[in-house]
Structures are given as C-alpha cells and as structure tokens.
Amino acid sequence: MASASDIGTAVEHARYEACLKGLALSFEGDRGRGVVAGRTVTCDLSEGRGRPVPFVGFQAPFVRRLDLGLRVVLRPFAGVVEEEDPFEAEFTLGGDEPGRARELLEPAVREQLAALHATGLVVAVSDAGPRIEWPETFFEDPVGLSAALHALVRLSATMEVSARALRPSVRLSGHAEALAHFANEHGFEFATTPLGLEGELAGCAFTVRSQRVGWHSHCLAWEVRLMRPLATVLDVRRQRLLDTLPTQLGTADFVLGSAEFDRRFRVEAAVEARADVARLFEPALIELLVDLDREIGATRLNRDRIGVEALANEVRPLALVSTLKRLVRAAVLIDKNDSESVAGFQLA
C-alpha cells in the first residue's frame, strides 16, 4: 500500500506535469523537455529536494557545447560588492582562459543575465548553456514561468551569437588556422568556438569538431557520412578488454586475416553477412583504417559513417585536413569506388 508521502509526491508531480504541459514541455519521469520560442528547454523536477527552498532547474542548452570551461555563478554575498555594472556586483566569472570568457559576456549578455537575476531567480551559465532555478511553487505562476523561460532562451541565443565572434582556444590556435584556410579555400562552414568545420567532400557530408574534455584539454572528432548506408549492419571499433566475451546472439566477430587489423579492431556483423564483410574490407581499406588508428586516434566504422577521435595535443594542425581526406578516401572505397579523385577533388 502506498504511503501518505508517496501519494503526496505523486500528486505534487501531477501538478508539475500539468503546468509544464501547458508550456509545451513533455515528461519522462522527473525530467521534462520541450521547445520554447524555437529553442530546446530541459528541466529536472528532482533537483533541490531536501533543501530549505526546493527548486526546479531549467536549462536552455546551446546547440553545440562551448569549450571555455565557462563558470558564471552568483557571488556568495551578491550585492555586497559595490560595482557600477550590475553583472559584476552579482556574478563571478571563470574559465580556462578568463579573457575569452569575458569576451563572450558582451554587454547584451550581461544585461540579460542581470535582468533574469533581478526577477529573484538563481541564474548560472556553463559550457552547456544558461540555467535558472525556479521555486517548486512555480505551478502557481505559470505566466511568470513562461516569461522566465522566454528570457532564458533569448539569453542562450544571444550567447551563441557572441560565441561566433570569439577567438579559438589558445591550445587550438594552430588547428583553427589550418581549418580556416581549408574552409576558405573550399567554401566550407567554419566556427572558432567551439572549433568546427562542416561541409561535403567527394559526395560525403563531414564534420570536424572539438570538445573540451578537461582544463585546457580538448578532443578532436572527425566524422564522414558514407554515400549511402551499407546493406549490412556493421560495427568496427578498437578492441577492448571485455571483447573476449561472446558477441550478441546472431552476430559474429570477424577475423579478416590482417594481423595488425585483427589485433586493433573488433568487427561485428550478422553471421550471415560473412561474404559481404569479406568483399567490403579490401586490402586498401584495411590499410587505411590501420594507419588512421595507429597514427591519429580511435577509429570507428558503422553502417552509415566513419570517424576518428583523438586528443588535440596529440594531433599536428597539418594532420587535421589530411585525416579528413583519408576518411573520405575510406568512404569512397567503401562505396566501391577506388578512385584517387572524385568530382574533381584530389583526395591524395
């Protein structure tokens, strides 16, 4: 039999859900998600339970997570410090490179942050995006919450615009220069914060992106979509410690006869796809995958894409473009087109 507290919690959650659904946020357990003014908003009903003033957390995530190690939080004694700028009086700002973080918080961003906080809300910003903490009694003021969420998504959009003008991380300046030159040469889309490049090469859509993984530490990820999905469901990745365990029922770990490839990679596909796998992995593709994994980083191939991940400090800037071209070359081979040049673009 349910306890009184369980019933109370269920009723409380039902009231939360009713309010959030009125704001076009859908539920799954304690978490909600929806779209406000064209931007995603997430919430967590379980945050703050047991605190003197319980709250619900709402976040308007950036489309792409930033790479600053950004920390914008309220001062422990907000309002005590005398500052002409309301932002400086209420907030502290931190990041891997404080100068870049300050450049991100241009006047329009500071004004919106201060205005949100002036409504009585707790406001914070990280690389993931801005968030607010709303008292659990929010269901009593759905109009006020709606206004706060619209202000939150405006702040998120304003910060993304500001991020586009930022210089890249000092640790990625050489990588950014190499990608910018390649982008200008071929008309690809390029961004500095977070560092990224996307476009289409030899008929294959691609992205090159950076992600902050720690203090002054970034990971680079290349991804190339195959020209068409493979008929065979396939997963090729680095061998792991637990890969000595049996594969899932109906699949097999294929050995292709190349000592180094078989040592580095695990190839999983349906048992009946043996002939397709043997035909797909011609010697030239095997050599490419081995070289990428040995020289650049963890290489992976599945039914519709091929990619590599590596720590940025282990990748020379000049290797960014050459790695992309090698991945495109692999995609071309996979598509049964063993050509050094496709649509006039030299891949060698």
CATH architecture of structural domain 4-164: 2-Layer Sandwich (3.30)
What string of pLDDT tens digits covers the 348 residues of the chain? Answer: 333 344 344 445 566 666 666 666 777 767 788 888 899 999 887 655 555 556 788 999 999 999 999 999 988 765 545 556 778 888 899 999 999 999 999 999 999 999 998 888 889 999 999 999 877 665 567 778 888 999 999 999 999 999 999 999 999 999 999 999 999 999 999 999 999 999 999 999 999 999 999 999 999 999 999 998 887 888 999 887 655 555 554 455 767 778 899 999 998 888 777 777 888 888 999 999 999 999 999 999 999 999 999 999 999 999 999 999 999 999 999 986 333 333 444 444
CATH 3.30.1460 residue ranges in the chain? 4-164
Cβ-count burial 185-206 (b if 16+ within 10 Å, e if not): eeebebbbbbbbbebebbbbeb
159, 130 contact by CB (below 8 A): yes
Give the CA radius of gyration of the chain: 25
Name the amino acid, one letter, at 18.
A
Q: Compute the distance between CA of residue 314 and CA of residue 75 in angstroms, rounded to an integer.
A: 38
Name the residue with tokens 């450049």: 103
Q: Compute the distance between CA of residue 126 and CA of residue 222 in angstroms, rounded to an integer.
A: 25
Q: Compute the distance between CA of residue 2 and CA of residue 338 in angstroms, rounded to an integer.
A: 66
pTM listed for this prediction: 0.80
